[in-house]
Amino acid sequence: MVAINTSLLTMRLETERLIIRPYIESDLMASFQLMQDPELFTYMHMGVLSFEDYKGLFDWLLSSYETPFNQPFKYSFAIVDKVNGDFIGWCGVGQLDFSAPDNELYYLIGRRYWGNGYATEAAAALTAYAFEEIGLNRLLAKADSRNTASMRVLDSLGFTFDRVLTGLTGDDEGCNGEYLYVRSARL
Protein backbone atom coordinates (compact mmCIF):
# COMPACT_ATOMS: atom_id res chain seq x y z
CA MET A 1 0.00 0.00 0.00
CA VAL A 2 1.26 3.47 -0.91
CA ALA A 3 1.25 6.11 1.79
CA ILE A 4 -0.66 9.21 0.80
CA ASN A 5 0.97 12.58 1.43
CA THR A 6 -1.90 13.86 3.58
CA SER A 7 -0.47 17.37 3.81
CA LEU A 8 -0.94 17.67 0.04
CA LEU A 9 -4.47 16.32 0.13
CA THR A 10 -5.48 19.01 2.62
CA MET A 11 -3.37 21.78 1.08
CA ARG A 12 -5.38 24.91 0.31
CA LEU A 13 -3.70 28.18 -0.51
CA GLU A 14 -5.88 31.26 -0.56
CA THR A 15 -4.89 34.55 -2.09
CA GLU A 16 -6.98 37.68 -2.46
CA ARG A 17 -8.83 36.25 -5.47
CA LEU A 18 -7.77 32.63 -5.86
CA ILE A 19 -7.78 29.20 -4.28
CA ILE A 20 -4.91 26.87 -5.14
CA ARG A 21 -5.63 23.27 -4.17
CA PRO A 22 -5.00 19.69 -5.24
CA TYR A 23 -7.03 18.44 -8.18
CA ILE A 24 -10.14 16.46 -7.33
CA GLU A 25 -12.07 14.05 -9.58
CA SER A 26 -14.76 16.65 -10.27
CA ASP A 27 -12.12 18.94 -11.89
CA LEU A 28 -11.73 16.58 -14.85
CA MET A 29 -14.14 18.18 -17.32
CA ALA A 30 -13.40 21.81 -16.43
CA SER A 31 -9.66 21.24 -16.68
CA PHE A 32 -10.03 19.25 -19.91
CA GLN A 33 -12.14 22.02 -21.48
CA LEU A 34 -9.65 24.71 -20.45
CA MET A 35 -6.85 22.69 -22.08
CA GLN A 36 -8.64 22.53 -25.47
CA ASP A 37 -7.40 26.00 -26.48
CA PRO A 38 -4.38 25.52 -28.80
CA GLU A 39 -3.19 29.06 -28.11
CA LEU A 40 -2.30 28.00 -24.55
CA PHE A 41 0.47 25.82 -25.96
CA THR A 42 2.25 28.48 -28.03
CA TYR A 43 5.22 28.43 -25.63
CA MET A 44 4.88 24.88 -24.28
CA HIS A 45 6.09 21.45 -25.34
CA MET A 46 2.70 19.85 -25.54
CA GLY A 47 -0.53 20.38 -27.39
CA VAL A 48 -4.23 19.76 -27.17
CA LEU A 49 -4.90 16.19 -26.00
CA SER A 50 -7.78 13.87 -26.79
CA PHE A 51 -10.08 13.18 -23.87
CA GLU A 52 -8.59 9.69 -23.38
CA ASP A 53 -5.03 11.05 -23.30
CA TYR A 54 -6.03 13.89 -21.00
CA LYS A 55 -7.83 11.46 -18.67
CA GLY A 56 -4.59 9.47 -18.41
CA LEU A 57 -2.68 12.64 -17.56
CA PHE A 58 -5.36 13.69 -15.08
CA ASP A 59 -5.21 10.30 -13.32
CA TRP A 60 -1.42 10.67 -13.09
CA LEU A 61 -1.87 14.16 -11.58
CA LEU A 62 -4.15 12.73 -8.89
CA SER A 63 -1.74 9.90 -8.13
CA SER A 64 1.22 12.29 -7.86
CA TYR A 65 0.03 13.40 -4.41
CA GLU A 66 1.08 9.96 -3.13
CA THR A 67 4.75 10.91 -3.56
CA PRO A 68 6.30 12.22 -0.33
CA PHE A 69 8.30 15.44 -0.24
CA ASN A 70 11.57 13.52 0.30
CA GLN A 71 11.22 11.66 -3.03
CA PRO A 72 11.42 13.11 -6.55
CA PHE A 73 7.95 14.62 -7.07
CA LYS A 74 5.92 16.66 -9.51
CA TYR A 75 2.74 18.17 -8.06
CA SER A 76 0.19 20.15 -10.05
CA PHE A 77 -2.65 22.09 -8.47
CA ALA A 78 -5.92 23.58 -9.63
CA ILE A 79 -6.32 27.35 -9.62
CA VAL A 80 -9.93 28.31 -8.88
CA ASP A 81 -11.61 31.71 -8.76
CA LYS A 82 -12.47 32.37 -5.12
CA VAL A 83 -15.77 34.11 -5.88
CA ASN A 84 -17.41 32.00 -8.58
CA GLY A 85 -15.48 28.72 -8.36
CA ASP A 86 -14.37 28.78 -12.02
CA PHE A 87 -11.40 26.59 -12.88
CA ILE A 88 -8.99 29.16 -14.38
CA GLY A 89 -5.71 27.28 -14.66
CA TRP A 90 -3.07 25.29 -12.87
CA CYS A 91 0.31 25.67 -11.25
CA GLY A 92 2.83 23.22 -9.98
CA VAL A 93 6.20 22.45 -8.55
CA GLY A 94 8.40 19.44 -9.11
CA GLN A 95 11.58 17.90 -10.35
CA LEU A 96 13.04 19.42 -13.49
CA ASP A 97 13.96 16.27 -15.37
CA PHE A 98 17.06 17.57 -17.19
CA SER A 99 18.38 19.17 -13.99
CA ALA A 100 17.50 16.64 -11.29
CA PRO A 101 17.34 16.96 -8.35
CA ASP A 102 16.44 20.61 -8.98
CA ASN A 103 12.76 21.55 -8.77
CA GLU A 104 10.87 23.93 -11.02
CA LEU A 105 7.84 26.16 -10.71
CA TYR A 106 5.32 26.11 -13.58
CA TYR A 107 1.87 27.56 -14.27
CA LEU A 108 -0.79 28.07 -16.91
CA ILE A 109 -3.80 30.39 -16.92
CA GLY A 110 -6.72 29.99 -19.32
CA ARG A 111 -6.72 32.58 -22.10
CA ARG A 112 -9.97 34.24 -21.08
CA TYR A 113 -8.33 35.04 -17.72
CA TRP A 114 -5.11 36.52 -19.11
CA GLY A 115 -4.08 40.05 -18.12
CA ASN A 116 -5.55 39.94 -14.61
CA GLY A 117 -2.40 39.08 -12.65
CA TYR A 118 -3.65 35.58 -11.78
CA ALA A 119 -0.41 33.86 -12.82
CA THR A 120 1.63 36.11 -10.53
CA GLU A 121 -0.82 35.70 -7.65
CA ALA A 122 -0.93 31.90 -7.92
CA ALA A 123 2.79 31.48 -8.56
CA ALA A 124 3.66 33.69 -5.57
CA ALA A 125 1.48 31.57 -3.27
CA LEU A 126 2.92 28.31 -4.60
CA THR A 127 6.50 29.60 -4.37
CA ALA A 128 5.95 30.43 -0.70
CA TYR A 129 4.42 26.98 -0.14
CA ALA A 130 7.38 25.28 -1.85
CA PHE A 131 9.86 27.06 0.39
CA GLU A 132 7.92 27.11 3.67
CA GLU A 133 5.99 23.83 3.64
CA ILE A 134 7.82 21.51 1.26
CA GLY A 135 11.16 22.84 2.47
CA LEU A 136 12.86 23.55 -0.85
CA ASN A 137 15.92 25.80 -0.80
CA ARG A 138 15.62 27.00 -4.38
CA LEU A 139 13.35 26.83 -7.40
CA LEU A 140 14.01 27.01 -11.11
CA ALA A 141 11.58 28.18 -13.77
CA LYS A 142 11.72 28.11 -17.57
CA ALA A 143 10.27 30.64 -19.98
CA ASP A 144 10.23 30.69 -23.74
CA SER A 145 12.29 33.66 -24.92
CA ARG A 146 9.18 35.05 -26.69
CA ASN A 147 6.93 34.77 -23.62
CA THR A 148 7.42 38.22 -22.13
CA ALA A 149 4.38 37.85 -19.86
CA SER A 150 5.87 34.80 -18.15
CA MET A 151 9.24 36.52 -17.79
CA ARG A 152 7.51 39.47 -16.09
CA VAL A 153 5.82 37.05 -13.66
CA LEU A 154 9.15 35.47 -12.77
CA ASP A 155 10.87 38.84 -12.38
CA SER A 156 8.11 40.08 -10.07
CA LEU A 157 8.53 36.97 -7.88
CA GLY A 158 12.26 37.55 -7.41
CA PHE A 159 13.49 34.94 -9.87
CA THR A 160 16.67 35.97 -11.67
CA PHE A 161 17.83 35.03 -15.14
CA ASP A 162 20.42 32.24 -14.96
CA ARG A 163 21.13 31.19 -18.56
CA VAL A 164 19.78 30.22 -21.95
CA LEU A 165 19.29 26.47 -22.10
CA THR A 166 21.47 24.69 -24.67
CA GLY A 167 22.75 21.19 -25.34
CA LEU A 168 19.62 19.36 -24.19
CA THR A 169 18.75 16.18 -26.05
CA GLY A 170 15.97 13.61 -26.24
CA ASP A 171 12.67 14.56 -24.58
CA ASP A 172 14.22 17.82 -23.33
CA GLU A 173 15.54 19.00 -26.71
CA GLY A 174 12.56 21.34 -27.16
CA CYS A 175 13.72 23.36 -24.15
CA ASN A 176 16.87 24.52 -25.95
CA GLY A 177 16.74 28.29 -26.34
CA GLU A 178 14.43 28.78 -23.35
CA TYR A 179 15.48 31.04 -20.50
CA LEU A 180 16.20 29.45 -17.13
CA TYR A 181 15.47 31.46 -14.01
CA VAL A 182 16.39 30.70 -10.41
CA ARG A 183 15.25 31.85 -6.99
CA SER A 184 16.53 30.82 -3.59
CA ALA A 185 14.34 30.55 -0.51
CA ARG A 186 16.07 33.60 0.94
CA LEU A 187 15.72 36.69 -1.19
Give pLDDT, residue 3.
41
Integer Cα distance of 68 and 103 in angstroms:
14
Name the CATH topology of 6-184.
Aminopeptidase (3.40.630)
Q: How far apart are CA 149 and CA 52, in angstroms?
A: 31
Q: 93 burial class (0-12, 13-18, 19+ CB within 10 angstroms)? A: buried
Q: Is 31 exposed, middle or buried (0-12, 13-18, 19+ CB in 10 A)?
A: buried
Instruction: For the chain, 187 residues long, give each residue's pLDDT as a single digit of tens.
Output: 334 455 788 899 999 999 999 999 999 999 999 888 878 777 777 778 899 999 999 999 999 999 988 899 999 999 999 999 999 999 999 999 999 999 999 999 999 999 999 999 999 999 999 999 999 999 999 999 999 999 999 999 999 999 999 999 998 998 999 999 999 997 6
Could you tell me the pTM of the whole model?
0.91
